Amino acid sequence: MRGGLGERPPLFAFLLLVAVAALGYLAGHRVGGHGSSSTSTRTVLVNGVLLDYPSAWKRTTGGSQIAGLALAHELTLTPPGDARAGLTVGSLAAGDPGPLPEGLLAQLRSNPRTDVVSLSEVQAYRYSNMNVAGFNRALTAFAIPNSAPGSTVFACYASAGDSPFVRECAQVVYAVTRVGQPLGYDLSPVRAYARSLAAVLAFVQKGRAAVAQAAGARGASADLGGLAARLAEQFRVAASSLQALEAPAGAQAAQSALLAAARSSGGAYAALSESVRARNAAAYTSAHARVVQSEAGVNGALRRFALLGYEPAPK
């Protein structure tokens, strides 16, 4: 008999199967739940990124334990029984070209290893072998470039690099999804762009070394004024060449930072040249301070290129 107790209509059977499947999923997954199952997870939204993490992990207060890792919308999670391990996630401050926070870059003793990895939806930069001043723990960081409000950064840390938590933390990062974000783009370095960038940098690198040597001589070399004037012109030409380069999407912020630093350096070295030729000690001191600041900007931009997979002086 159609519709009797011994036979269910097709629609009823379908809905029953869906309900059973949903209950099975919730029993094992428990998003946002309080169950004790080792597979249960909670979900949090940070900077437009959905993060599923084990429910046993707890939120901590007091900010990141990593020197220089200052992030907006910061969230730190720690596993039970291990206060030296954790996951910190947040976004770069406005105006920070990335891919890692400027404060953290200042604490790096050396450039980490850079790899482009594929997450569940987009590519990200992964930084391993990170050596941070004052932080004697294993640290692996990830960065997902976003147009706004800022790139999302993840930092997985533990007492040792072979810690099970490091692997578990990386799995959590690999599974993140984004909400309301534009499509990602290929982060792999572009060889043609690397060659063009190398040519621009080679144009000023010898001049930088020559001026540094002349300025370091006792009483400053008599050639310093001419060398500084020549380097000022080289930086102006380099800035013009950089402006004409079409940077890949992943390198646009780094190129903008290098362009600003090149323009600043051109002006600083021109002032240094004028002060030497005028034999004006006060003007020389002021111009030298400008040179130091602008050179720091150039070096910082080059380090950012290294973090994108480009060598500081690509070949």
Structure tokens at 271: 């002032």
Among the candidates 145, 178, 211, a domain finishes at: 178
* DSSP states of 73-120: EEEEEE-TT-TT-EEEEEEPPTT---SS-HHHHHHBSSPPEEEEEE-S
Residue 64 banded pLDDT, cuts 50, 70, 90:
confident
Task: Check whether residue 36 and residue 174 sit in a common domain.
Answer: yes
- SS3 of residue 187 by DSSP: coil
Q: What is the pLDDT of residues 120-170, one digit of tens each?
A: 888 999 999 899 998 889 999 999 987 556 789 999 999 877 788 989 999
Q: What's the sign of the alpha-carbon dihedral 281, 283, 289, 294?
A: negative
Do the Cβ atoms of 92 and 73 come closer than 8 Å?
no
Kindly give the pairing relationship between strand 177-178 and strand 113-118.
unpaired
Cα(84)–Cα(78) distance, rounded to whole angstroms? 8
Task: Check whether residue 153 and residue 233 sit in a common domain.
Answer: no
Residue with tokens 């001419």: 226
Among the candidates 148, 178, 208, a domain finishes at: 178
Any domain includes 118: yes
Task: Check whether residue 38 and residue 146 sit in a common domain.
Answer: yes
Do the Cβ atoms of 84 and 76 come closer than 8 Å?
no
| pLDDT computed for residue 149 by the predictor | 62
Task: Check whether residue 150 and residue 240 sit in a common domain.
Answer: no
Cα(220)–Cα(214) distance, rounded to whole angstroms? 6
Indicate the number of domains in the chain. Answer: 2
Any domain includes 19: no
45 is in which domain, residue-wise?
32-178
Helical H segments across the chain, by residue range: 10-29, 102-107, 164-174, 191-216, 224-244, 252-278, 281-307
- SS3 of residue 49 by DSSP: strand
Q: What is the pLDDT of residues 189-232, one digit of tens each?
A: 999 999 999 999 988 988 898 888 887 765 566 688 999 999 99
57: Cβ–Cβ under 8 A, 6 or more apart, which residues?
42, 77, 78, 79, 80, 87
Task: Check whether residue 76 and residue 200 sit in a common domain.
Answer: no
| pLDDT computed for residue 87 by the predictor | 95
Residues in the chain: 315
The H or E element that residue 58 is part of is: strand 58-59
Span 235-243, mean pLDDT? 95
Any domain includes 87: yes
| pLDDT computed for residue 196 by the predictor | 93
Any domain includes 48: yes
Any domain includes 64: yes
Cα(297)–Cα(46) distance, rounded to whole angstroms? 30
Task: Check whether residue 114 and residue 249 sit in a common domain.
Answer: no
Q: What's the sign of the alpha-carbon dihedral 184, 185, 188, 189?
A: negative
Q: What is the pLDDT of residues 38-53, one digit of tens each?
A: 469 999 999 889 999 9
Task: Check whether residue 155 and residue 254 sit in a common domain.
Answer: no
Task: Check whether residue 41 and residue 157 sit in a common domain.
Answer: yes
Structure tokens at 299: 């070096």
Task: Check whether residue 172 and residue 49 sit in a common domain.
Answer: yes
Task: Check whether residue 42 and residue 169 sit in a common domain.
Answer: yes
The rounded radius of gyration (Å) of the Cα atoms in the chain is 26
Any domain includes 11: no
Q: What is the pLDDT of residues 96-108, one digit of tens each?
A: 888 999 899 989 9
Structure tokens at 4: 């009797």
Structure tokens at 281: 């000690």
Task: State the average pLDDT for the chain.
Answer: 83
Any domain includes 222: yes
Task: Check whether residue 50 and residue 154 sit in a common domain.
Answer: yes
Structure tokens at 39: 């597979």
252: Cβ–Cβ under 8 A, 6 or more apart, which residues?
none
* pTM score of the predicted model: 0.78
Task: Check whether residue 51 and residue 173 sit in a common domain.
Answer: yes
282: Cβ–Cβ under 8 A, 6 or more apart, which residues?
none
| pLDDT computed for residue 220 by the predictor | 61
Among the candidates 178, 205, 238, a domain finishes at: 178
Any domain includes 18: no
Cα(250)–Cα(104) distance, rounded to whole angstroms? 20
Instruction: Specify the CATH number for the domain of residue 153.
Output: 3.40.1000.10
